[in-house]
Amino acid sequence: MSESNPLHPTLTLPPIILGGSGFSDQSHPNPQTLPVATIIRRAFDEGILAIDTSPYYHPSEHLLGTALSDPQITTRYARSDYILMTKVGRLSTSAFDYSPTWVRQSVHNSLERLHTTYLDVVFCHDVEFVSEHEAVEAVGVLFDLRRQGYIKYVGISGYPLETLVSVAHAVRHVYGQPLDVVQTWAQLTLQNTKLERYGIPALREAGVSVVCNSSPLASGLLRAGKVPCGRLGDWHPAPEGLRSAVSIASGWLECQGFGLAGLALRFSLAKAVRAADRYAVSVSTVLGVSSLKDVEEDVEVARDILRDLDAGLVYKRMEVMGGLSRLRWVNEEVECRDLRLCYGVRNILGEWAEYDLQK
């Protein structure tokens, strides 16, 4: 169990978080053309009141800072109404700087770009690419910045769950306190469920009580068509065999009258709720978007598979602010309907089911 600290309450996140990577050069050929303020306003109005980004997702922080200063946001939402999460340490595809000096500078740079006086969460970005000592030292710097009031919560992010668990244990040992949150990507998907099977219980043993599940579509792999490409080209690590199997599965689903992206997102959202209940943790899903259509489709899927916490009723339309933040139960009727389809997809994936994207 994580240590209790009445002066530092546990981080509370909504079940769905807006992923700022959709406003990056990695994901979009020209992110400066995106209507970011309009997208954020729609997401906020639907109850998606948290944003995750990183300096590495350039120019996401710049675009978000401008959008969050737009009157269509500021006239309806105060800074305290939403959560801003960003990262430190990753500079480019192959460059990292986890030095204490840069960690501090990076946080101050993000504060300036995002036009805010504090950050709700800061993660050390992709800790698997540096030594454990460097990662733990950087976390210590973030703890210092937390005490100084620049940030509220400290976390780490990355792909290999074994590395995340090891760093989480080391942080707890060195500083006598656990990480506030851990984020991983593409590890709780229709193709890979390792976060549920291993990651969440192992992180719980390290005192972590909040987990962010990013990339429920495996960074755009689990959908019809090709993976998204931005200015940096095709960076996706999935090998051709996995891509081919996904394409076959997508075609099979279309013959059943369903889309792969919707099924994969419903699967991931339901798994997050089930895992949170089973292990007494909070599990939030980070969804990257780059259009109003993305937001609308994600909201529709969430309302299909999730139910209201209080009334237990399926919400097809919610006009109340914060509506999606109330959806914390699984709609078992939809879950059962999807079960056959999920089995079918995983059978088609065959040897690629549970494949590690960083092999």
For the question of residue 198 being annotated catalytic, the response is: no
Percent of the chain's residues with pLDDT above 90: 82
In a domain, 188, yes or no: yes
In a domain, 206, yes or no: yes
Q: According to the model, what pLDDT value does residue 227 have?
A: 62
In a domain, 1, yes or no: no
Burial 170-188 (b: 16+ CB within 10 A, else e): bbbeeeeebbbbbbbbbbb
Q: According to the model, what pLDDT value does residue 276 have?
A: 94
CATH number at residue 317: 3.20.20.100
Catalytic residue among 56, 57, 82, 153: 57
What rounded mean pLDDT belongs to the chain? 91
In a domain, 249, yes or no: yes
**Helical (H) or strand (E) element with 328:** strand 327-330
The phi and psi torsions of 137 (rounded to 5 degrees) equal -65, -40
In a domain, 327, yes or no: yes
Say yes or no to pLDDT of 320 above 70.
no
* Number of CB atoms found within 10 A of residue 116's CB: 17
Distance (Å, whole) CA 159 – CA 187: 8
Q: According to the model, what pLDDT value does residue 323 have?
A: 73
How does pLDDT run across 156-190, given as a tens digit for each residue? 999 999 999 999 999 999 999 999 999 999 999 99
- Inter-residue contact 256 to 245 (CB < 8 Å): no
In a domain, 64, yes or no: yes
Say yes or no to pLDDT of 286 above 50.
yes
Exposed, middle or buried by CB within 10 Å (0-12, 13-18, 19+), for 71?
Answer: exposed
- Residue 147, domain extent: 16-352
The phi and psi torsions of 259 (rounded to 5 degrees) equal -105, 145
